[in-house]
A and B are shown apart, each in its own frame.
Chain A
Amino acid sequence: MDTAVLIDEAIREQLLDAGATIVGYARLGRFLHDDIAHLDMAISIGVGKNLNRGTLALLGELQRKTSRILKESGYRYLCIPPDSDRVKDTFVSKLYPFFAHKIAATSSGIGWIGKNGLLINREFGPRLSLATVLTDAPLSADTPIEFSECGDCSLCVEHCPSGAITGGIWSRYEPYVRLINTDKCNSHKKNTKGLSDKPNCGLCINICPYGRRVIKESVQMVLS
């Protein structure tokens, strides 16, 4: 029990020191595919930055740090890299589709799934880049977020240029409600050729009032 507490603290502390914005632990049991069901604790790692090359490198480094600690303590682990950084031709990449980062993030209390289908954190809004490490280490799980806190706000629904956001409301008990019409979202991507190498238009991220202020402040801090 004591070692479990120690490893809890060690991982969280080291990740925050190394540049993680937020770290959460979740017990996922029933959400997992058979091949990874024994790794039922998730360490959800969020970085409050755009998902650019630097952020991907940071997330990778944070995952390596986590796996090193787990390995040294004799636990199993599996690193699930950020969605946009999945090298397709490795063996282990076959397991990535069995897992969604958002399940770990909501289950560990980092945020809820907003109307825009993205993970929303109270402080950073939809502006966290996520990676997950699955493990069989007995970490103490954080409290899941159960309901959407979008409330009456529908800015993303109103501003979506392709009308792809349905306005549905996510909850932990109705996790598969349809939030986004992906065909419409993709059609917008196709029509704006200049953006073709980027994931869609991103307006639903920019418009979200959650976390807009925090980002502005950190930008100003960097500039000054």
Chain B
Amino acid sequence: MLTEEKQQEILESLRNAVVQYDEELSEKAAQEALDLGMDANDAIFNGLVSGMEEVGRLFEAQEYFVPEILMCADALYKGLEILKPHVKQLDLGVRGSVVIGTVEGDVHDIGKNIVKMMFDVAGFTVYDLGRDVPLDNFVAEQMRTDSDLVCLSAMMTTTMVGMKKVIDDLKAKNPNVRIMIGGSPVSQEVAEKWGADGYAKDATNALKDALDMVASLKKLKEEAEAKAA
């Protein structure tokens, strides 16, 4: 029997599993959620993602550093792998697919992976091109998949300049596509100048931005549900 109390307990376990980077607990709590017939979306957003929000706060407060963030992300994925097959597709009025990658010449992909994780969580279809991606591949992949979002990452000033070309090419081929860029050399100014729609400075900010995005998706979902009811 799934009581309200038990449900809260499982959500708390999922949250703690992520915050305390405990992969075993994450798997166990996710499995328990399914066994007791909990809604997978609820377990993800109010359990795992809620934990990751706390991780973001701990990082900002400099309680957590990069290793902890990555261990937390691994713990989140352990639970997500179990819950994801049971997620009900949300009808949000957006197609929800994204092309993501680190631009040519750049092999730094920690930030990119964090952003990718949040898209995964949000139920997006993610086309991950990986790192050191030839610039033309972004455009080709966007055309192939008809994705509405393209995310570019660069960690070096030398590779960052490649982003401008990709943005120009993408906008020329498909003016409706949304583009997010990220990485430590990128600034809001650069993003605006080059015509990108979104910008994230580093893994934490990417995490925050991605969380904001997930939060607004969640709000949309709740509104849609309220309308339906």
Residues of A at the B interface (CB closer than 8 Å) are 35-36, 38-39, 71, 76, 78, 90-92, 94-95
Kindly report which residue of chain B lies nearest to residue A77, judged by CB atoms: B67
CB contact list, B99-115 vs A, under 8 A: 109-110, 113-114
CB-based contact B68/A76 at 8 Å: yes
Q: Which one of B2-10, B42-50, B69-77, B159-167 contacts A?
A: B69-77
CB-based contact A76/B70 at 8 Å: no
Once the chains are docked, how many angstroms separate the CA of A7 from the CA of B77?
32
CB-based contact B113/A92 at 8 Å: no
CB-based contact A94/B71 at 8 Å: no
Main secondary structure of the interface of B (DSSP, over half): helix
For residue B66, CB closer than 8 A to chain A, the reply is yes
Q: Select A94's contact among B20, B70, B77, beta carbons within 8 Å.
A: B70
Q: Select B67's contact among A36, A71, A90, beta carbons within 8 Å.
A: A36
Residues of B at the A interface (CB closer than 8 Å) are 20, 65-71, 73-74, 77, 109-110, 113-114, 117
B residues near A71, Cβ cutoff 8 Å: 20
Closest chain A CB from B228 CB (angstroms): 37
CB-based contact A95/B66 at 8 Å: yes
Once the chains are docked, how many angstroms separate the CA of A127 from the CA of B209?
49
Once the chains are docked, how many angstroms separate the CA of A91 from the CA of B117?
10
B residues near A36, Cβ cutoff 8 Å: 66-67
CB-based contact A92/B71 at 8 Å: yes
Q: Do A35 and B66 form a contact, CB below 8 Å, given A90-B74, A91-B113, A94-B109?
A: yes
CB-based contact A91/B71 at 8 Å: yes
CB-based contact A35/B109 at 8 Å: no
Once the chains are docked, how many angstroms separate the CA of A71 from the CA of B65?
15
In the A-B complex, the 5 residue pairs with the smallest Cβ-Cβ separation, listed nearest first, are A91-B70, A92-B70, A91-B73, A35-B66, A78-B67
Kindly report which residue of chain B lies nearest to residue A87, judged by CB atoms: B74
Q: Do A92 and B74 form a contact, CB below 8 Å, given A35-B65, A39-B67?
A: yes
Closest chain B CB from A110 CB (angstroms): 23
Q: Select A95's contact among B67, B77, B109, beta carbons within 8 Å.
A: B67
Kindly report which residue of chain A lies nearest to residue B63, judged by CB atoms: A76
